[in-house]
Amino acid sequence: MAPSETSPLIRREDASSPDASRANNENNALPRGTFAARLGALDGFALLISIVIGSGVFSSPGPIDANVPSPGAALLIWLLGGIVAWTGALTMAELGTTFPGEGGIQPYLTYMYGEVWGYMAAWSWIVATMPATLAILCIVFVESIYSSFGVNEPHPPITHKLLSVLVLVVVTTANSISTKTSTRLSGFFVAVKLLTIFLLIVAGLTVVAILFDRGKDLGGGDWHERGWFEPRETVLPDGSLFDWRGVGTWQSLGFYSTALYGALWAYSGWDKANYVAAELRNPKNQLPLAINTAIPTIIVCYVAANAVYYVLLPWRVVSTTDAAAVTAVTHFLGKGVAYFATILICLVIAGSALGNSFVAGRMTVAAANKSWIPRVLGTVGQIGPFKVSKSSTEGEEDADEAMDKGESPINALILNTVLSAVYILLGNMRILLTLNGLAEYAFFFLTVLGAIVLRFREPELRRPVKPFIVIPVIFAIISGFVLVRGAVFAPVQAGILVGVWAVGVAFYFVRRRGLRR
C-alpha cells in the first residue's frame, strides 16, 4: 500500500506487516508487465536506441553552442549529457525491477514520499513536460523546412508558429485514429532516424577525407584552422556577438547548465529503461547489458554527429540555427540535396512527435484512472462526453483495455494539443528547452535521491538490478547542481514551473476533498 501524503519522506515497513509481505511477494514475481517476457539483450538494445534517438541531435546543437565558449566545450556537454543519461538509466532499471508495474516514476515517488508526490509528477508531465516537448518538436519541424530554403529567422513570425500548431494538429489526428495506426508508423520512423544519422556522419567523414587526400576543404573551414577549445565570440540568434573572455565562473556555470538542458532533452527516453525490463527474459543480466551497450552507442552517435556540424559549417553559423542538420547539409551539398535531407529529418521529427503524443495520451489516462484528474480525460473513443466509436458503445470498458483493442484517448489528446499550442504561441524553442529540462529533472532528481536513501533505509528489498551506489550518486550530484543553477539562471522558466506546480497542488487537495464528499 502506498503511503498517504502525510507519510514520512522514506517509509520503512516492518517485515511482518501485510504491506511488507505484499511487497516481498511482488518482488518474488519479477519481472511482470503488460507484455510477455520474450526479448533478449539485443532486443533491449534496439528498443533503447529507438526510444532515445530522436530529433534532439538535429535541433539542440544551436542552443548548446550558443551557451558554451567553444566547439570542444559543446562536445563535452554532449558527452556529459550522455553520462547523466547512462547513470539515470541504470538507476531507473533498479527501481523498475524492484517495483514492477506501470506508470514510470509515479509509483516510485508515491512509495518514497507519498501519493501527492506521485500525483505531482503526473501533473508536471501532463501540464508542462509533455506539452513543452511536443511544442519543441513542432517548432523544429517547421524551422527545418524554412532552413532548407535558407530562411533562419532569429525571431520567427507568427506564421511559423501557426504552421507549428498545424503540425501539432496533424500529429494528434494521426494518434486519434487508432493505436494500431500509431504503432505501425513508429516502426517506419525508427528506420528513418537511424539512416539519417548514418548519412550525416558519412558526409562529415567525406569532408575530412577529401581535405587530407586532395587538400580541398568542402566544409566550413574553421574546423582545421582554429582551436576546438579556444574561446571565441559567439553569434547569438539576434545577430549580436557575445565575448566569453569576460564571463566569470558562476555566470559561465549558468550558461553550461542551460546548454546541458539541450543535451539532456536530446537524450530524453533514457528513463524508459524499466519499460524494456518488463519484456526481457532475464532482466537481471540482460537489462544492464542492453543499457551498457545502447547508451554508449547513442553517446558516440551524438558526439560524432555534432562534430560533423562543426566540420560542415562555419562555427559562427552553428549557434544561430535551430535546425543544425538541415543547415549543415545545405551548406555542404546545396539546396537540391538539402531538400531530400529535410524530408528525412522532418520524418524523424514527426516520428518523435507522434511517439510523444502517444505517450502523453496514455499518461493522462493513467492519471484519470487514479482520479487525480477528471475522469472524462481517461475515456477512450469519446470527444468530451460524446461517444464516437462503435466499441465504446458496447458497455463500460476499462480505458487501458479499450486502448489495447485500438481505441484512442481522444479527450486526453485534445488536452495535450491545447496545452502544446499555448506553449508554441507564447514561447520559442530555446525557452522551452530550459522549461522542459527543469520540469523533468526536478522529479528525476527526487526519484534517484529516494533510491539512494532506500539503499540504506530498506536494504532488505529485493533488487534484481543493483548498480554500484556511485552510479545514482553521480546522477544526483550532477542533476541536482544543474537543476539549482539552471533555475537561478532562468528565473522566468523556473517561475512558470513553480506556478504550474502550485496550481497542481491546489487542484489535488480541492479534488480530493470533493471526491470525499
- Sorted by where each starts, the structural domains of the chain and their CATH numbers stand as 37-516 (1.20.1740.10)
Residue 188 CB burial class (10 angstroms; 0-12, 13-18, ≥19): exposed
CA angle 50, 53, 56 (to 5 degrees): 150
**Predicted local confidence at residue 103, as pLDDT:** 61
Residues linked to residue 243 through DSSP beta bridges, in sequence order: 233
DSSP 163-188: HHHHHHHHHHHHHHH-HHHHHHHHHH
Q: Give the CA distances from residue 139 to residues 238, 265, 429, in Å, rounded to whole numbers and listed in that order.
A: 18, 15, 7
**Predicted local confidence at residue 11, as pLDDT:** 43
Contact 278, 272 (CB under 8 A): no
**Predicted local confidence at residue 4, as pLDDT:** 36
DSSP 403-437: HHTT---HHHHHHHHHHHHHHHHH--HHHHHHHHH
Distance CA 237, CA 481 (A): 27
Q: Which of 158, 166, 152 is nearest to 59 (CA)?
A: 152
**Predicted local confidence at residue 512, as pLDDT:** 85
Quick check: helix, strand or coil at residue 379?
coil
Supply the DSSP symbol for 241: E
Which residue in the block uniquely carries the three cell numbers 503524443?
Answer: 357
Distance CA 120, CA 508 (A): 9
Residue 61, C-beta contacts closer than 8 angstroms, at least 6 positions apart: 74, 306, 309, 318, 321, 324
State the amino acid at position 210 in one-letter form. Answer: I
Supply the DSSP symbol for 236: P
**Predicted local confidence at residue 19, as pLDDT:** 43
**Predicted local confidence at residue 102, as pLDDT:** 57
Q: Give the CA distances from residue 107 to residues 100, 112, 211, 377, in Å, rounded to whole numbers and listed in that order.
A: 9, 9, 55, 20
Distance CA 185, CA 495 (A): 37
**Predicted local confidence at residue 71, as pLDDT:** 94
Across the 517 residues of the chain, what is the mean pLDDT of every consecutive 10-residue run?
A: 38 41 41 50 76 82 91 96 94 86 78 92 92 91 83 76 93 71 58 79 89 82 90 77 84 90 89 69 82 92 93 89 81 78 81 79 84 85 67 47 61 92 89 90 95 94 91 94 90 94 93 81
**Predicted local confidence at residue 23, as pLDDT:** 42
Distance CA 373, CA 507 (A): 9
Residue 75, C-beta contacts closer than 8 angstroms, at least 6 positions apart: 228, 303, 306, 307
**Predicted local confidence at residue 496, as pLDDT:** 93
